[in-house]
A and B are shown apart, each in its own frame.
Chain A
Amino acid sequence: MLLVVTALAIARVRNLFAVVALGGIYSFLMALALLVLDAVDVSMTEASVGAGISTVLLLGALYLTRVDEAMPLRFSVAPLIVALVAGAALLYGSWDLPPFGDPAGPIHHHVAPRYLNQVMAETGVPNVVTAVLASYRGFDTLGETTVIFTGGIGVLLLLKGRRRRRGSGGAAP
């Protein structure tokens, strides 16, 4: 509920610096919610990545650009309608989901019990999330690091050209 309030504030506030600070608060609240949902690993990652690295990146981008958001030239109602219709469709669909916290839900009877029962015998790692991430799905994690590597190279290339152009006298169009 605090999450919703913070997200609404993010949508309304026009000073981008305040928006970034609210984004940090939002990430910590999300980390708390994930902790309550028993997702401790995800919670730690969200607190460090969402509230830490993302905030630093956004502040860096704000430093390189500017802080205030312009007033919109016109208020168009179409995005609101699209968002509300999508939300209504999702709510309608959510009635068919299994109830919250029910151990009989279909999600708990697919491959998860196999991991939970065999993980100690097969990997010896008590933290199942770590075992699945690094052992069973090691190639996925390799692909993930490839994505981060590509992203890092992209950022470096984009910002490197910028520095060179500024160094050569600022021939920006």
Chain B
Amino acid sequence: MAGAVAHFGNWVTVILMVIGLYVVLARGNLIKKLIGLSIFQTSVYLLYVGPGKILGGTPPIIAEGFTVYANPLPHVLILTAIVVGVATLALGLALVVRIHEAYGTIEEDEVLGREGDS
């Protein structure tokens, strides 16, 4: 049972990762694919930030009376990842808008079908 508590965060991370991967692979809608990519990405946030936590610790802001802090390095990395992720999302959505402009659809199957016709 102690093992279950110790690894619960990892399980949630893995489940979210699997859902994100499935959405990216299985769904034909391009916007849905991008949202799946976002889910995958947030699961990576959990993967990084989770091990940095110390039970009984505080957020990494130096102050009198606190000696145990969470590990600040994952937080820094994930801040960068969030911001880069939103840049990726914006670029992907712009591409989707252009694809919709060119093909009149945002479904992957229909885009490939019209590519074959023309």
Contacts and interface: CB of A to CB of B under 8 A. Distances in A.
Interface of A: 1, 3-4, 7-8, 10-11, 16, 19-20, 23, 26-27, 30, 33-34, 37-42, 45-46, 49-50, 53-54, 57-58, 60-62, 64-66, 69-70, 72-73, 76, 78-80, 82-84, 86-87, 90-91, 94-95, 97-103, 105, 107-108, 111-112, 115-116, 119-120, 126-129, 132-133, 137, 140-141, 144, 147-148, 150-152, 154-155, 158-159, 161-162, 165, 172-173
Contacts of A116: 60, 62, 69, 72
B25 to A, nearest CB: 4
Interface string B35-69: 11011001001100111111111111111000011
For the residues of B in contact with A, the DSSP-based class is helix
Nearest to B28: A72
Contact of A137 (B26, B76, B102): B76
Given A50-B82, A58-B35, A61-B97, A4 B16 contact: yes
Interface residues of B, number: 85
26 contacts: A10-B39, A19-B35, A38-B52, A38-B53, A39-B49, A45-B82, A54-B38, A65-B100, A69-B32, A70-B110, A73-B109, A83-B22, A83-B25, A90-B18, A99-B6, A100-B8, A100-B10, A101-B55, A107-B71, A116-B62, A129-B72, A133-B76, A147-B87, A158-B91, A158-B94, A162-B98
